[in-house]
Amino acid sequence: MNANLYALIEAHFPREREVPCILVADGPVDASQQAVLFYCWTPDVRALEAELRGAGVDVGEITYPFYMPAGELRVHDPDGYVVLVGQLGPG
């Protein structure tokens, strides 16, 4: 990864605990094959769901999988990629 990308990440995620996990694909990324997974975190998944719905975004129901007991939701971006957003913590 080049220095410019690291600088961009540090500018947007200045605190250590907010550093995103970025993986580089070894081949073409095709939304229809879901060869890439976007996973984000929020401090309040219920508030985010309400905000997205209020803005007219089609949001999946909050689920509570074993690995994200505080909840997680799913959204599709305009290109068709799945974006999962989870809330860290016990719930």
pLDDT at residue 25 in the model: 64
Q: Report CA-CA distances (Å) from 11 to 38, 40, 63.
A: 20, 17, 32
Number of independent structural domains in the chain: 1
In a domain, 49, yes or no: yes
* Cα gap 53→81, rounded to integer Å: 18
Structural domain containing residue 83: 27-87
For the whole model, what pTM was predicted?
Answer: 0.64
CATH number at residue 69: 3.10.180.10
Evaluate if residue 20 carries a pLDDT over 60: no
If pLDDT is split at 50, 70 and 90, which confidence band does 83 have? confident
If pLDDT is split at 50, 70 and 90, which confidence band does 24 have? low
Q: What is the mean pLDDT of residues 41-64?
A: 92
